[in-house]
Amino acid sequence: MASERDKAKNAITSSDPVDPELNSALAEARQEQYRITAENNRHKEALQASELGRMGRWLGGEKNSPIVIAAIVVFAGLLGAFLSGCMAAQSQRPDSADYWSKMLERSLALTATGLSFIFGRTGRR
């Protein structure tokens, strides 16, 4: 029930016990095709690595780097908010507490900005 096309494909890939020379030639051709494919993939990988550069390897490609940088900003804002909150709670002087509370507000604003960029950016994809 196989179609003519399936029969032709099977005839190309199947080995012939009568002709070992043909079998070795087909095996060499498959190995050569494998080597060519591996070399093409290695070349593409080298091109991509050279296009990315050092920072691109850490931050990702052209599409991912803004999101990664915004995530780093969000993390830094949350860390700053936590530290500012701790410092504001432990300060003894009113002017120092006022300073740290303003830093807490700024850190939370930085976090909100980073989050709005991330969620606004992913909606456009």
The full set of domain ranges for the chain reads: 1-54, 63-125
Q: What is the CB neighbour count within 10 angstroms for residue 104?
A: 19
What is the model's pLDDT at position 7?
A: 77
With a cut of 70, list the residues of the chain below it in pLDDT: 1-2, 11-17, 121-125
What is the model's pLDDT at position 33?
A: 92
What is the model's pLDDT at position 9?
A: 73
What is the model's pLDDT at position 4?
A: 82
Residue 68, phi-psi category: left (phi > 0), alpha (psi -120 to 50), beta (remainder) = alpha
Q: What are the helix and strand counts (H, E) for the chain?
A: 4, 0
Please tell me the number of Cα atoms within 13 Å of 61 on its side-chain side: 7
Q: How far apart are CA 39 and CA 34, in angstroms?
A: 9
What is the model's pLDDT at position 5?
A: 83
CA 7 to each of CA 3, 13, 14, 18: distance values in angstroms, whole numbers, following the listed order: 6, 10, 10, 19
